[in-house]
Structure 1
């Protein structure tokens, strides 16, 4: 009985010290975590994961720009996505890191940014940050290709996990820029990306053909809409 208190205190001290050494990276709402050190980050379309806990050492994080923007063809909105990019960062303490666009808190030109992401990672205590950004060339196939040609899109999450795995020998990338507090720049093959080819289970918009077409039209990007219109005209 007399050992209970010292043991509890020791365990409390251990877990407190373990928690204290973890750093944290915060991303804006318009970005999403894909993978960390070879493992997919558990996220879903209904909630946004803003913070990611990081242990000391070199960490590799796959992130993607993903935002909803006003549509050029209608009063609705559509998605814009970049290809995943890999942040390699050296964590040396329980710091609070923040990722943001290089030109401010918000992305001013979403489509241009998706093609050429420029980022800054800083620390809340204004300390130096040792990091670099690597832009991948991973793409998701378009909705039209999936629907009419039977193509399967790449598993972006799995590819991102592989790219952040330290045991991976090679990563298909297009550039390897930068270091602390300097905006990352990369020639990019990123493009406005369509939403998944299959509507979510239970989605009421999928109950009637006309509603489903309207649903996908509002979700599709400009390139996908052009593909669809070209296909539809040939069917007349």
Structure 2
């Protein structure tokens, strides 16, 4: 009778271990958009760095999204890539890490954003089966939504569609990046100068001002602005 308890406990432990999920981690400069046809809530100001993944193959939409110093002034620029789709085969309770192929420090952010090249490794050093595909999905700007015009797509809707089970995404890279075959992705880089040029159009001027004040606002002001902006859409 005494030998039954350890066996029962062992079975329960093995069952619990098999139910545990793998984990994928991305750096601060990257943003999750969608997983297997479901939107992932994340942003630069509420960064989600980890997602849990069950065994099986998963499609994950990610984009490079960072704020960098301008090369010719003291101003700052937002840089966003088009989403890229990672197809990752998970075969156990592993910790996966996504990183830029060139290393932790991205030396030329604007060039990198045209077609982000990334690699995925396992913390235990095991083999990782994955593919990376670039897309040409462009995002409608916040200013376009406010002032009219349709210069892009809803990035969340497009990312959800690209990671759904029915989606067919052209694969550019397998296991490791291959820059020569990666198509150019869209880039959105808006410079925020200290003094706006007098020749800027009204829409460009408004967009730069919105982004400039957002960067310099505190959390309370940002929440109040977002509450107001959502009501206007």
TM-score with structure 2 length normalisation?
A: 0.71
Partner Cα separation in structure 2 for residue 55 and residue 14 of structure 1:
16
Match of 1:178 among 173, 176, 179: 173
Partner Cα separation in structure 1 for residue 208 and residue 110 of structure 2:
24
- Is 1:191–2:190 an aligned residue pair? no
2:209 aligned residue: 214
Q: 1:1-236, aligned counterparts within 5 Å?
A: 13=13, 16-17=16-17, 19-20=19-20, 22-72=21-71, 74-142=73-141, 149-151=148-150, 153-168=152-167, 170-171=168-169, 175-180=170-175, 182-185=176-179, 186-193=182-189, 214-216=209-211
Evaluate the alpha carbon distance shift between residue 152 and residue 118 of structure 1 in structure 2; reply closer, same or farther with a 3 A threshold. Answer: closer
1:92 is displaced (CA, Å) by 0.3
Q: 2:185 is paired with a residue of what secondary structure?
A: coil
Give me the CA root mean square deviation.
3.3
Evaluate the alpha carbon distance shift between residue 177 and residue 94 of structure 1 in structure 2; reply closer, same or farther with a 3 A threshold. Answer: same
1:177 is displaced (CA, Å) by 2.0
Partner Cα separation in structure 2 for residue 212 and residue 111 of structure 1:
19
Partner Cα separation in structure 2 for residue 64 and residue 212 of structure 1:
21
In the alignment, structure 2 segments of 5+ residues that lack a partner are 1-8, 192-204, 216-233
Partner Cα separation in structure 2 for residue 43 and residue 114 of structure 1:
19
1:5 aligned residue: none
**C-alpha contact (below 8 Å) 2:96/2:123 kept by paired residues:** yes
In the alignment, structure 1 segments of 5+ residues that lack a partner are 1-8, 196-209, 221-236
- String of CA shifts for 1:66-120, please: whole Å, max 9, x gaps: 0001134642212101100000011000111111011111211100000021111
Aligned residues: 195
**C-alpha contact (below 8 Å) 1:27/1:99 kept by paired residues:** yes
- String of CA shifts for 1:202-234, please: whole Å, max 9, x gaps: xxxxxxxx99863446889xxxxxxxxxxxxxx
**C-alpha contact (below 8 Å) 1:64/1:85 kept by paired residues:** yes
- Which stretch of structure 1 is more off in the superposition, 75-84 or 41-50? 41-50
- String of CA shifts for 1:34-89, please: whole Å, max 9, x gaps: 01011001224422111111110001100000000113464221210110000001
1:167 is displaced (CA, Å) by 2.5
